[in-house]
Each structure stands twice: as structure tokens, then as C-alpha cells.
Chain A
């Protein structure tokens, strides 16, 4: 008989539009992080480290990279005879066919997957947070409190609490009230979007709410269950937890990894983070290289200067190039003498010789000042930056640009350059 105590449903279908051009071709959970990882690695590693060996990954937006990354789950030991990892895209059905319209709707559409494993509990996860968490401890807590739903919550500074969904609990930690982005927060416990449901509760709620348009856990399922009096508890989590939903947060949490003793420490033996490595070769540091305060992934070749940066696998930094305060993802090439300052350079980008990124004054981005801010230069994957051009701050570039695309060889601060049909 097939029986799993707890299975996980990992929501990885969102675009993550606040990451701008970084996610124009790839889902947010598949965006590279920390030199060799992808964001989804943290949730997947938490699953297997917590003993959850059955994970359904719900995909929708640009899933190719995710599919190839996850494969049959070998890097996470999720290649199992029974269970393991399954990719669950939206599919056609006889009566009605639709995309995943919301988080709960996506899970509802995969009812059969969950039923097959005959679980007692279902863990609902997002694929876009950086953290190490033992879901088994959370499950123990769920059982101890005889809860119907347990929601993981993290204490945030009270002045920032108005950016989050806040929960208010009684002494027993049972949730009495929810407040979505309250102006005057009465608690600093923010919901992390991680839930454990007792299976019958989840099943029933999803069926009853199946007609709800865009059915969402935070907006519909939890309030519905709360209203009808289900026992909902907050599980307080006190470790490192980062939502990397914005370019600024993404950049900052990458940079935290290079601190002398990082708060989020990848070098601990306990609770390893696993990922699929395409390459395992060592890195080569050339005669002319200067490196400090930097982490560098496998197979990189460095001949230039690198300070305060996160360098992905297979990156090449040419002689005389200077990289500072930047994130370079897998296989990026920095030409000879190029200068890269405070930039996020996505996978496979080629930056021409003597190009300069991140120069001049900070000016708000003309197209979307909410996304491209904080003085960052953001270059989309597989873009090409021609030699000798200069690019200012709060800018975004996508596509195989040529020198003609730059007014007098310069993209001034606040500019956006998106070359349509960039893939040549």
C-alpha cells in the first residue's frame, strides 16, 4: 500500500515580475543564487533534509530551466521508487481546462496526485525563499497542538511589518486574526507562505472553494478555514529567511554570503544545500588575478580583479577587468579591461572588452523605477554588451545589443534597453 505521512506541494509557477529582466525567460525559482545554486534548491534541500521525499513541483511560467534543473531529482536524492519529485504543469481535462489561476487553484488541480500518496499532512511551500528549515519539527508542532493548519511565521522588525501579511495569536500561539499589510501592525509575526494542512481539511476546503476565481491560500483558503473555526496555529521560525522577490533583496542576500562569517552559512556540514552541477571542475585563478571578499563557483576562470562579488560557475573574467559589488551568474564572460560595478549579470551574458557598467549618478529608472532601483545595473541572460560602451545606474539591458543601440556609446543612468527578438 502506498502511504506517505507528509508530502510537499512546491509552488514554482510564478514569474516573479519584480525581478525585471532576470525573469523574462525563466521562472523565479530557477534564477541562479549564491554562485552555484538556484533559488528552488533551498526548498528542495529543506524537503529532503526534513525527510519529506515526495514533492510535487507546480510549474507554469517558463518551466524549461526548472525541468532540466530538477530532472528526476538526483541531486536531492529525490529519485525514488515511490514518491520522489514530480513536475506538475497545468493540463487539459475533459470538463474544464484552465491555467493555474492561483496558488490554491494549482494545488486543487492536482488533487489526484495528492490522493495517490494517501498522505496525512500536506506541506505547501513556495519556491522563492532563501532559508534552511526543518519541516519535520514544524510537523511535530502541528501534531502537538492538534492543529488543522500550521502556518510558519517569522518575526520581522515592527517598522517593516506593514509590508507583510501579519498574524495575531493568543498565548497558545493559535491564530486569532490576520492582517494583510496593515498600516498599524499589532504584531511582528509575518507569514512565510509555508503551511502544513491536515489532509482532510485541505481536501475539503479546496473542493468547497473550487469555484473561487484565482483561489489563493493567503487570500481565500486560510481566511475561509479561519472563519469556519479550524484550529490554525503559528509556528515561529527564528532562523535566516529571505524573500528574494526584488532586485534589491536578491542582491543583498547574495552579498550577505560573502561576509566573513555569513548569517546564512553554506559551509556548515549540517543541513547541506544540494544543487545540480553541470560542471564539477575546479576553478583556475590566473597570474594576474586579484580576488578578495568573493565567492566563486566551479570551473570559473579569473584573470582580472574581483572584489566583494558572487561569481557563478564557468564565469570568465578577462585580464585587466575589474568586478566590484556584483553578481555574475553561470557562464558570463567579462571581456578584457571591462569594469563592472554593482551589477546583476545573468547567465551567459557577454560583456565586451573595456565596457563600463554602473557609472555616473543615480537617476530613477525611466520605465519602471520600482523594479530597477538601488543603483543596480541588471543585464538579462544571454545578452551581449558591445566593447567600449558605458552603462549607468538603475539600468536594465536585454538582448544582443550592438554599439548602434547606444546613444554615443552610452546608456545613461535610469535607461532601459530591451532589444526585441534578442535571441539571434
Chain B
């Protein structure tokens, strides 16, 4: 009740290759039964944030379909609820969202009409669990103006696609660089912010006046010496989906028991839309090792080290290895698929072979006709 939630789910990345031609990153299927945005939405719900706005712009059809009812995340309430805002034309604005700050500026009425004292801003492409109330408490204790959730990268992880931050002893951010070519530190911002709602309105309005549209560049970095901006360190699992590689790795992480147990066996739960699919079915000839299989699948072949999403049919004598098969794919008999990501709704013809390289997986998009009875 102390905060409104904002999920920035408008984005797309050309580094997602063909995968993002169909949907926004926030709607990317993750871990067999979920979509990326489920993590942010569940975190909001589990942090008792009851009023959440999702700002979306790029190819939001798939995302809107996923959000067609807010009940799965417990947002189907009289108080608050889930709001999806796409760009609209008004008498004084006919632009698309020109940046994250502009997104909020164009929806300023949502912020102005709320009465919660704080706002929690997050993106729709992170896979993580976080109690935003803890960040909020930290924010209040530090008497911060803005709190940025940060994470220490492990050695060898590439920091160049993130914002890099440096703090003083107290945790106050003294340096903030967006996607630098050379990195001097290994603490990154993971795109989760806590800010007083009135301050957010003020900063966003001021930026708009100056034709500045980006929350990180034009607010965080620009104001870092003027405002008290603090970093809240997060040390549990976090992964963001922005490249084919990170998408593949994040999914494969769920083959690890500790990752599955952390997300699915420990409190609190992650919620998602319910599809009412029957149990997965394994027929004679099925052989499955170290894989995640979702409901509605029918398996007649071999699956190893793979993530198979919902309602996938795998034909006789077919082999799937080290691959991700997205929702509702039909794979014919005698096919061989290794190191691939197969796009949802695909129909893979019998007797075909698709092989990608480890570390450079192939994205398979096959729009063949499917004959179903």
C-alpha cells in the first residue's frame, strides 16, 4: 500500500534476433511455464503492491494476451489493480514513448492520481525474486531521494550491457556510467528503482521541459550529485534477458536444482497465467534426461538437456538436445535438433535436422502448414 508499481515493458533489443520479432522481451517465455514479466508481477504482488502499471510499446500483442486477466497475480481487486498503458494520441502529444522518462511523463496522470507515497520502478525483462519492501525500508533509512538496486557481477561476466555504479562507504552512488566501453567497476544497476512519487513527478516533468526522455541518462546520471541516490545491493539470483545468449543461459539455469528450488520451492511463489493444459504424456519410445517438460506436451522421442515449453508435440524417433522448444511447437518424426531455440507455433517437418553451435545457438522459425485433426 505504500507504493505504486511501474513495470517498463516497452523495450525490444535487436540482440534478441528473430525471437523479438514476435513479441516484446517482457513476454518471452521462461522456464517452461512462465513469461518474463511474471517475475516482476509476482514480486509486486508478493510485496503487497496492489496498484501496478505496465508500460508497453513494442509489439505488445503477446504481452497483452498474457495480461488479459490480472487475477493470476492477484491484481483483480477493487483497490488498485493492473493497468496496461500503451502510447496514445492526445491533443498535445502524438509521439511514441521516446524513452523511459517520457513513458512516465506521458502517463503522468496515473502517478498524479495515485496517493501512495512511493513508486517502485522495474523492468519487465528480469528473472529474479525480490521483496521491494526491503528496498523501500532501506530507502527510508538512508533518507535517499532515489534508491537503485545493484548487483555485484561475478568475475568474467560482461558488464558492458549494463549501467555501472560506484558508491561511497555509506552506499551513496558517486559514479554512474551507462553501458561503458571500458568498465572500471563490477557493480551494476539492475534497473529497479525506488523513489518518492512526488519527486518522480517533479523530475519527469522537468526532464520533459528540457526535451530529455531517458530515466537513467537524464535523471539518474544527471542528478547524481544533486540528489541522494543510493544503491541497494542484491545478492540472490538475478538474470536479465536482452540477448539470445542471455535468454538461452537463463532458461538453462533452470536445469540446476538450486535455481529451481529457489524459484519454485521457496516462499514466495512465482505466478503465471493458467492455461488448463492436461498433464505431459510420455508414450512408448520416449526417453527424457535432465530436462524440463511442461504440461500439455506429448513426447514420443528423445529429449536431453533441454527446456520444452507448453503443448509441444515431439514425434517418433526424434531427438532434441541442448535446445529450447517454445510453446505449441509440432516436431515431426525422425527430426534431429541440437543447440537450437525453436520459435513458438512452429511446425517442424519430419526427417529434418537443425544443428546450432554451442555458444551460438540457432533460432529456428518454421512456418509450415500443420494438419491437425
Contacts and interface: CB of A to CB of B under 8 A. Distances in A.
B71 interface: yes
Contact of A281 (B32, B288, B296, B303): B32
B82 to A, nearest CB: 16
Contacts of B292: 282-285
B275 to A, nearest CB: 8
Interface in B267-304: 271-272, 274, 276, 278-296, 298, 303
Contacts of A311: 279
Contacts of A289: 288-289
Nearest to A258: B281
A72 B234 CA distance: 38
A292 B279 contact: no
A332 interface: no
A280 B276 contact: no
B33 interface: yes
Contacts of A275: 276
A352 interface: no
A260 B292 CA distance: 22
Nearest to B31: A282
Top 9 closest A-B pairs, CB basis?
A: A282-B32, A35-B279, A266-B278, A282-B294, A285-B288, A295-B279, A281-B264, A297-B279, A282-B292
Contacts of A280: 33-34, 271-272, 274
Nearest to A297: B279
A219 interface: no
Interface in B293-318: 293-296, 298, 303, 307
B260 interface: yes
Given A280-B272, A285-B289, A295 B284 contact: no
Contact of B283 (A293, A297, A298): A293
Given A266-B278, A282-B294, A285-B293, 9 more contacts: A34-B279, A75-B274, A267-B296, A272-B276, A279-B264, A280-B272, A287-B289, A287-B290, A299-B264
Given A283-B292, A285-B293, A290-B287, A295 B274 contact: no
A294 interface: yes
Contacts of A283: 280, 292-294
A280 B296 CA distance: 12
Given A277-B274, A298-B279, A298-B295, A292 B286 contact: yes
14 contacts: A35-B279, A258-B281, A266-B279, A267-B281, A267-B296, A281-B32, A282-B292, A285-B290, A285-B291, A285-B303, A293-B282, A295-B280, A296-B282, A298-B33
A187 B274 CA distance: 44
Interface in B24-39: 31-34
Nearest to B263: A281
Contacts of B294: 282-283
A355 interface: no
Interface residues of A, number: 37
B278 A295 contact: yes
A224 to B, nearest CB: 41
A161 to B, nearest CB: 32
A74 B289 contact: no
Contacts of B296: 267
Nearest to B281: A295
A175 B291 CA distance: 56
A275 B274 CA distance: 10
A270 to B, nearest CB: 11
A36 interface: yes
Interface in B46-96: 71
A9 interface: no
Interface string A242-285: 00000000000000001010000011000011110101111111
Contacts of B32: 281-282
Given A284-B292, A287-B290, A292 B283 contact: yes
A291 interface: yes
A290 B34 CA distance: 26
Interface in A77-131: none
A286 interface: yes
Contacts of B286: 291-292
B289 A267 contact: no
Question: Which of A274, A284, A285, A294 is the most central at the interface, judged by chain B CB atoms within 10 Å of its CB?
Answer: A285
A311 B264 CA distance: 19
Nearest to A276: B274
Question: Which of A277, A283, A291, A297 is the most central at the interface, judged by chain B CB atoms within 10 Å of its CB?
Answer: A283
Contacts of A285: 288-293, 303
Nearest to B269: A279
Contacts of B289: 285-289
Nearest to B38: A280
Given A35-B279, A277-B274, A286 B290 contact: yes
Contacts of A282: 31-33, 292-295, 307
Given A267-B296, A285-B290, A292-B285, A36 B279 contact: yes
A219 to B, nearest CB: 37
A291 B279 contact: no
A312 to B, nearest CB: 8
B72 to A, nearest CB: 9
B284 A260 contact: yes
Contacts of A296: 279-280, 282, 293
A35 B281 CA distance: 10
A372 B277 CA distance: 33
B262 to A, nearest CB: 12
Nearest to B313: A267
A36 B286 CA distance: 21
A298 B293 CA distance: 9
A74 B271 CA distance: 15
Nearest to A306: B282
A332 B264 CA distance: 17
Contacts of B260: 281, 284
Given A283-B293, A287-B290, A260 B264 contact: no
Interface string A295-313: 1111100000000001100
